[in-house]
Chain A
Amino acid sequence: MENKHKILLKQEGDIGLLQINNPPQNYLERPDFVELDELKKFVGTGIKSLIISGSGRHFSAGANLDSIKEQIKDANVFREKMEKGNHLLNYLDDLEIPVIAAISGVCFGAGLEIALACDIRICEENTLFAFPEINHDLFPGLGGTRRLAKLTDKSTALELVLNGDMINAKKALELRIVDEVVKKKQTLNYSMDLAKKMTNNRSLDVINAVMQSISNSEKMDIEEVIKRDTQLFSTLALKSLGNKRT
């Protein structure tokens, strides 16, 4: 399934794969890099995890500036695209299945924004990260600063966004921007294996419940999280009892 956005959606068993397919740099042609409805339909087929990767050597070098310059001529249309892009990343962020970014090569700008909207980030030892927007008098416009601040801290996020410097995999791990660093050319294999181990033999109900709880504890106070966890547990327990009876 390919579309005008140069994104491939394919399925391997229970795992959904979203591949940025614009090699070699995998530039993103527009902020709304994939149609939300198409993505929703894809997720709706019952995949238990989603892995986002880039085709070839790189994850993504970010937005295609030439193409953005062209699009921005119509400011209203471009603002709409930015809004759509934000909705898209919020949708990925809120998905109730694990979303893994399998990162290799360069992961810049909008590419890094996509990676930050994932639940788990795996990268190769030679991966480079940056928010270079500042060099063009811009800033990450898809929530990247906020997500980076939540993951690291405010000062780290400000530093990376304001100086636009590149950081390597080791530094990214230290700053908790990535969760695991693997050997060269291993990121997709590692991510697939991780996704399998996490979701094989797990029902979507259980996966959704764990994802809900994790997301609750990022948004609510602990009392409310606990109340909802006990409700989620009871619902699953009753379901399991029902299954046993039949």
Chain B
Amino acid sequence: MMEVPSTKKISWEVSDGIGFLSFIDAPENRMDTLFFQELQMLTTDTIPKSKIAAIIISGNGRHFSSGANLDDLFHEIKNEKSGSDILLSNMHSFQYLCDLNIPVIVAIKGVCLGSALELAMHCHFRLCAEDVILGLPEAGFGLIPGLGGIPKLQQFAGKAKALELILKGNTFNAVDALKWNIVDAVYPKKTLMDAAIQLAKRSMNNYRKYRKKDYLIINNTLD
């Protein structure tokens, strides 16, 4: 296995051709300045050098992530010449994952709010546990989802639902997320990671050859 610099927020392990990107700052797995620095290092250096055919993103502990650390973000925006530069560079990490030609799967359990949901929406397959709490609460803080959350939600759920969810800023559950096309499949918490690994194996050598939903039917034989 290749040498990986030690990290505090995100771990990266490769096994059987699958890259496991895990948030390791449980219980909240907050996305603070260090988190985004580590994510940038992963997406610009570590992942491009890794021999992988699929990626699974998940959070250690009970929750996926409660999103960005607002104090950190405000601090950076205040001190940058152009506050939006720091956001753009964070955004590039999300876009890198979105643009990859290998399946990028996110396995969400527990809480997944704000920037965490924005990251999840940049993944190709979004699997979640029955107990998830999802939401974009930014409007409640006088802000908007600034990392691609608005166009992504609009793409998946349509204009009216996106507008409603972003302005209300309320949380929603797995059943609604599935109905609104925000997640692709819901599993019991105990089998979520297995489902993600099975999906990775099923899609890693034939990605984008089939329709998305074909990969999600467990017993579908795909070549």
Taking beta carbons and an 8 Å cutoff, which residues of A are in contact with B? 98, 119-121, 176, 179-180, 194, 197-199, 201-203, 205-207, 209-211, 213-214, 216-218, 222, 225-227, 229-234, 236-241, 243
Contacts and interface: CB of A to CB of B under 8 A. Distances in A.
B78 A238 contact: yes
Given A226-B151, A233-B146, A234-B77, 14 more contacts: A98-B163, A119-B160, A179-B160, A198-B168, A201-B140, A205-B142, A210-B166, A214-B162, A225-B150, A229-B145, A233-B143, A234-B82, A236-B144, A240-B143
Contact of B84 (A203, A211, A217, A230): A230
Contacts of B74: 237, 240-241
B163 A214 contact: yes
B139 interface: yes
8 contacts: A119-B159, A199-B167, A214-B162, A225-B151, A232-B144, A234-B77, A237-B143, A240-B143
B150 A198 contact: no
B99 to A, nearest CB: 11
A237 B159 contact: no
Interface string B144-165: 1111101100110011111110
How many B residues touch the partner, as a band? 35 or more
Contacts of B166: 210
Interface string B2-29: 0000000000000000000000000000
A179 B161 contact: yes
Nearest to B95: A226
Contacts of B82: 234
A238 B74 CA distance: 8
Of residues B155, B158, B164, which shows the largest number of chain A Cβ atoms within 10 Å of its Cβ? Answer: B164
Nearest to B150: A213
Contacts of A218: 159
B178 interface: no
Contact of B144 (A197, A213, A222, A227): A213
Given A176-B158, A230-B91, A238 B83 contact: yes
Contact of B148 (A98, A211, A229): A229
Given A206-B144, A214-B154, A222-B151, A231 B167 contact: no
A236 B142 contact: yes
A214 B150 contact: yes
**Chain B binding surface SS class:** helix
Given A225-B151, A227-B84, A238-B83, A121 B160 contact: yes
B197 interface: no
Contact of B78 (A214, A217, A229, A241): A241
B216 interface: no
4 closest Cβ pairs, A-B complex:
A233-B146, A234-B83, A179-B160, A230-B87
B37 to A, nearest CB: 17
B163 A230 contact: no
A234 B80 CA distance: 10
B90 to A, nearest CB: 9
A43 to B, nearest CB: 17
Of residues A227, A231, A234, which shows the largest number of chain B Cβ atoms within 10 Å of its Cβ? Answer: A234
B73 interface: yes
A206 B84 contact: no
A202 B161 CA distance: 17
A183 to B, nearest CB: 19
A230 B88 contact: yes
Contacts of A211: 163
Given A214-B162, A226-B148, A234 B142 contact: no
B135 to A, nearest CB: 14
B163 A237 contact: no
B139 A226 contact: no
Contact of A210 (B91, B139, B155, B161): B139
Given A230-B146, A232-B146, A237 B158 contact: no
Nearest to B143: A236
B146 A98 contact: no
A180 B166 CA distance: 17
Contacts of B87: 230, 233-234
A202 B78 contact: no
